[in-house]
Homo-oligomer: A and B are copies of this chain.
């Protein structure tokens, strides 16, 4: 029984959650926070504070509070760690093998988040928090590698049909930036002409009649996501056809 072990739990929040001593099973949330920079998909990680995982990186997470909804907890975590409000967040799944946490029984619910690295001028207060390129991540603390992969899989499924990808881009962007982002997420190269045709058909974008002005080559047009699609909600207009 891991109750004793839980008493040793030590986190940034440990003072405030002394009631943990009485838990048999503790509940946490973990966030896989994706960002996009220099044509690379990245995720935000923090140095683990557990001796068992010294020098290992881990996802941003926290224990859930008695008086907060499960789905609210990751918003709090993001707010605390990055200062960001109104981020895109979606639940991916819960992970609860018995020994996934060395200090005791902890079940965690994973969320993925998409944020625009540059635009928000995040105050990453904690200097142990850094962006990492996904391909270079070999190992993470706990089962966080597995959680990261589940979230990446979900992301790849969702960007195809739903306009969630724009949470990773600035307000105004070129089609090249959008294509680079799709390629970084899906890990494949796309044909430029066919990509533009496909995006045009989805009817997600407004041409705002502006041009890039900071590129060392011919500038492209800038676009915005249509305002009625900015709510991060699943798309109503795209009625999916049954394929069987």
A residues apposed to B, CB below 8 Å: 1-2, 19, 22-25, 27, 64, 66-71, 91, 93-98, 105, 107, 109, 159-161, 182, 186, 188, 190, 195, 198-199, 242-244
Residue of B nearest to A104 (CB): B66
Partner of A94, one of B2, B70, B195, B198: B70
| CB of A204 to closest CB in B, whole Å | 11
Whether A70 contacts B91 in the complex (CB less than 8 A), given A27-B25, A188-B242, comes out as no
Whether A94 contacts B97 in the complex (CB less than 8 A), given A66-B25, A244-B159, comes out as no
Chain B residues within an 8 Å CB radius of A188: 242
Partner of A19, one of B24, B96, B107, B244: B24
CB atoms of A160 and B98 under 8 A apart: no
Chain B residues within an 8 Å CB radius of A244: 159-160, 182, 186, 190, 195, 198-199
Interchain residue pairs with CB less than 8 A apart (27): A1-B67, A2-B66, A19-B24, A22-B22, A23-B23, A24-B66, A25-B27, A25-B66, A27-B27, A27-B96, A27-B107, A64-B96, A64-B107, A68-B98, A69-B97, A69-B98, A70-B94, A71-B97, A91-B94, A93-B93, A96-B109, A159-B244, A161-B243, A182-B244, A190-B242, A195-B244, A198-B244
